Amino acid sequence: MAEGGGPADGPLEPLSQVTLARIRRSREQYPSARSAVLPALWAVQDQLGYLPPSGLAAVARELGLEPSEVEAVSTFYSMYFQQQPGRHLIQVCLNVSCGLRGADQILRHLQEGLEVEEGGTTADGLFTLEGTVECLGGCGGAPMMQVDRISYENLDPAAAAQVLAGVRKKDGAGRRGRRNA
């Protein structure tokens, strides 16, 4: 970490006083600072949308930990983003129940329609497709996906595309010349 608490590769991205207070409160709730890393990372991601190096450095500084300890946690869990995601996160469950009922066809259909690979974000910044999700807890309604943590079950490729069309309409972004997923 560079002098002054910022990462060596860039300036410290400012965290709001609300975010800093959330990090400090999380530290007070646990006997060990390491136990507060997860909620502290959520605080940063809730503000910034992802975890840039400056956000990780701020968490390390506020919790009194080494930056490498915070980075290790942030990269271990798939719920934390290292890059700025789209405004809407799509997760398609590929576990056994969903896989046996056609989740891979849904994923391929979404990839083609959105013109992105797994982990990619659409050119308009509207959607990030995180396809390789092991279980979203909806086995009884397989295949299923989540968009912004809202579950949609008993899908086929057309129904999945319809969900995204509804999100686009609600978002007001429109298709902007892109093929409809």
Residue 33 sits in which domain range? 17-76
36 and 70 share one domain = yes
Q: Residue 123: inside a domain, yes or no? A: yes
**Residue 4 pLDDT greater than 90, yes or no:** no
Q: How many domains does the chain have?
A: 2
Tokens representing 95? 């576990």
**What pLDDT band is residue 3 in, cutting at 50, 70 and 90?**
very low
CATH code for the domain of 127: 3.40.30.10
Average pLDDT rounded to a whole number, residues 27-33:
95
For residues 61 and 132, membership in a common domain is answered with no
pLDDT surpassing 60 at residue 174: no
Q: What is the mean pLDDT of the chain?
A: 87
Determine, yes or no, domain membership for 29. yes
HSE-CB for 89 with a 13 A CA cutoff: 19
Quote the pLDDT of residue 31. 92
Q: Kindly provide the b/e burial profile for residues 32-58, where b requires at least 16 CB atoms within 10 angstroms of the residue's own CB.
A: ebeebbbbbbbbbbebbeebbbbbbbb
Q: What is the pLDDT of residues 76-99, one digit of tens each?
A: 887 788 888 899 999 999 899 999
> What is the spatial distance between Cα 55 and Cα 49, in angstroms, rounded to a whole number?
11
In a domain, 121, yes or no: yes
Asked whether residue 181 carries a pLDDT value surpassing 50, the answer given is: no
Tell me if 9 is assigned to some domain.
no
What is the CATH number for 65? 1.10.10
Tokens of 35: 């136990």
pLDDT, one tens digit per residue, over 129-147 is: 986 787 888 899 999 999 9
Query: Are residues 30 and 99 part of one domain?
Result: no
With bands split at pLDDT 50, 70 and 90, how would you rate the model's confidence at 13? low
pLDDT of residue 173: 47
Nearest CA to 137 among 181, 85, 97, 180? 97
72 and 98 share a domain? no
Going by pLDDT thresholds of 50, 70 and 90, the confidence category of residue 167 is very high
Domain end residue (candidates: 30, 53, 76): 76
Do 156 and 95 belong to one domain? yes
Whether 178 maps to a domain, the answer reads no
pLDDT tens per residue, range 149-165: 899 999 999 999 999 99
- Quick check: is 7 in a domain? no
Within this chain, do residues 33 and 107 fall inside the same structural domain, yes or no?
Answer: no
